[in-house]
Amino acid sequence: MFENLREDWRTYDRMVTRQGLWVMAVYRFGRWRFTIRWRWLRMPFSFLYKIFQVIAQILTGIELPCEVTLGRRFRIEHFGGIIISGDAVFGDDCIIRNGVTVGLKNTGHRGSPTMGDRVDIGAGAKILGPIHIGNDVSIGANAVVLTDVPSNCLAVGIPARVLPKRKQRSVILLDMLADQTSEDRDAHACR
């Protein structure tokens, strides 16, 4: 737990005023209590976690249950209106912003999104259902993502359209030189 808290402290630029850091501390405490084997010993910590979680939700507007699987260096960039379902999974170096919902598509049907590494989620985005988001994906502000998004893509719109990320100009020129024979590239396929 303390190793993760130290990493969270560095992720949030060592600023105790960051509400995301508060939520992460409560999340880490909630995860840590599961390491206590004996139920009767774990019960007071579970009660304390539930109190801390409610206080954190009221103060920050962020719902992050301890059942969520988070990778390293998870960052909540702006606070308020963030709801994450308990069975969601995030990879390393993910960033979310205010108004984001990551959760179930339909009431009564289990299954929340699984995020890859380095996923950047814009303000107000909704990512719903048992879908997979690849590595290095950017999800635009207010996008509603209901289908899988391959790695190295951008998801924008309602419902979200999946677009390839633009490469840097030098990388494009090198690609053109290396493969001059294939002039007709598929603009819709994400690489």
Q: Do 47 and 84 fall into the same domain?
A: no
Segments forming the whole domain that contains residue 60: 1-64
User: What total of structural domains would you count in the chain?
Assistant: 2
- Asked whether residue 181 is assigned to any structural domain, the reply reads yes
Q: Do 76 and 130 fall into the same domain?
A: yes
Q: Do 103 and 167 fall into the same domain?
A: yes
Pairwise CA distance, residues 174 & 171, whole Å: 5
pTM for the complete prediction? 0.78
Q: Do 82 and 43 fall into the same domain?
A: no
What does the pLDDT look like over 37-51, one tens digit per residue?
Answer: 898 999 999 999 999
What does the pLDDT look like over 124-159, one tens digit per residue?
Answer: 999 999 999 999 999 999 999 999 999 999 999 999
